[in-house]
Structure 1
Amino acid sequence: MANVRADAVRNRRLLLDAAAAEFAEHGTEVSIARIAARAGIGKGTVFRHFATKEQLMAAIFSDQLEALAARGEALREEANSGAALLEFMAAGVELRSFCQAFTPAMREDPQIRAASDRLVAVARSLTERAGRDGVVRHDVTGHDVVLLINAAAQAVAPLGDAVPGLWRRYLSLIFDGLRPDAAHPLPVPAPDSLTPG
């Protein structure tokens, strides 16, 4: 029985990792058969774990949010509170392509809501610490930070991946806007065009 449970846990992990990779590489229209093949499991195994594709996507989204929250919790140990907050925000922007696929209805999933609440709590902790250290304005909240992560991602969305790493420019602009003092140089130059290619 223990082996059956261990196999089920292993298959679920393989499935979530394969689905996340497929969605990131090919979009959310990718087939369950393709996901199953990448995971090295049967299609029936997928449906034993998740009755619908939406449930699978919700589980992956929750998994990604939990991973980001865990990253944020680890960053609370960093000595430089500003660098820790910026690194947390950068990690959040890197999830952007997957997170954009979710509808408002999917975000109501209890698992996703719990993971979102944990993420906001971690963001609040990192933000408050940076505020106490004089790195960010005292009126910036954890909710502000989570929303601004999305703002940095959306700023470059019209260009797709035409300028790799461009989002770092906009995240730096946003982060400088959070500072109570003077701005700093931007790490990536501005694009030549607002259209890809």
Structure 2
Amino acid sequence: MTTTRPLRADAARNRRLLLAAAADEFAERGLDASVADIAHRAGVGKGTVFRHFPTKDDLLAAIVVDRLDALDTVGERLLDAADPGAALLEFLGVAAEQQKQRDLSFLQQAGELTAEVTRARERMFGTVHRLVDRAREHGAVRADVTGTDVILLMCAPNHVTSYLADAPPDLWRRYLAIIFDGLRPEGAHPLPHPPPVAP
């Protein structure tokens, strides 16, 4: 049986620099951003890029997995929180803040990249479902709200504010609060459509 050896400290540092540089470069230039520009931005040589990521698709997949794993780590920690409602709200706040800090809309053009991306997405979605289940069981969210509903709402706070040219950087918090009030059981009315199939 083969095992993956952990990266040396310098290699791990280069990988982190490359992921951050690539995300910024793709956000600014789209998927046509060059490996040379990414390497320059990260302060490494092109050879270092290709040692970590043989193709641009590998680099894009790593950005997605890195983002999903970071969210999943937060969600897993919050599963043990004493207040499941506050935990779910905190998770949604972290997700919105992460999205605000770095525009990853370019990833929508990339589609399903690798099996690793699919696994990371399934892990994170599973964690969201568990957070929502706990919040629902404790009466913090309405009984007819599902994990899938919340997953589909995760990008909404920043999506709404993207329509304003000069939106204050923390305006998304207002819309997250409105969304979360809609999830609460107080004053809830029956929803007009059944929930979508879980992703």
TM-score by length of structure 2 reads 0.78
Structure 2 residue matching 1:101: 3-state secondary structure: helix
**Higher mean Cα deviation, 74-83 or 22-31?**
22-31
Distance 1:8 1:181 in 2: 51
> 103-112 or 162-171: which moved more?
103-112
Matches within 5 A, 1:87-106: 87-96=90-99, 97-103=102-108, 105-106=110-111
Of 151, 164, 168, 2:169 maps to 164
Does the 8 Å CA contact 1:128/1:138 hold for their aligned counterparts?
no
Matched, 1:180 2:185: yes
The alpha-carbon distance between structure 1 residues 179 and 163, as it changes in their structure 2 partners (threshold 3 A), is: same
Structure 1 regions of 5+ residues with no counterpart?
184-197
Match of 1:148 in 2: 153
Partner of 2:42: 39
C-alpha distance in 2 between matches for 1:3 and 1:180: 46
| 2:89 corresponds to 1:86 | yes
Q: Alpha carbon RMSD of aligned pairs, Å? A: 2.7
Question: What letter matches 2:181 in structure 1?
Answer: D
Gaps of at least 5 residues in structure 2 are: 189-199
CA deviations on 1:72-106 (whole Å, 9 max, x unpaired) are: 11111221111110110111112335332213653
In 1, the alpha carbon distance for the partners of 2:119 and 2:6 equals 30
Q: Report percent identity of matched pairs.
A: 51
> Which residue of 88, 113, 116 maps to 1:111?
116
Once the 2 structures are TM-superposed, how far is the Cα of residue 10 of structure 1 from its aligned partner?
4.0
Change (3 A) 1:167 1:43: same
Partner of 2:125: 120
C-alpha distance in structure 1 between counterparts of 2:29 and 2:177, whole Å: 29
The one-letter amino acid of 1:87's match is: E
Cα distance change on mapping 1:29 and 1:86 into 2, 3 Å: farther
Taking the TM superposition and a 5 Å limit, the aligned residue runs for 1:16-95 are 16-23=19-26, 30-95=33-98
1:54 positional shift: 3.2
- Residues 6-61 of structure 1, C-alpha deviation per residue, up to 9 Å, x if partnerless? 65444323322333354567765544323213333211221232233332122111
- Output the amino acid matched with 1:84: A
Query: 2:133, 2:155 → 1: CA distance?
Result: 20
Check conservation: 2:27, 2:105, Cα contact below 8 A.
Answer: no
- Once residues 12 and 175 of structure 1 are traced to their aligned partners in structure 2, the CA distance between those partners, rounded to angstroms, is 36
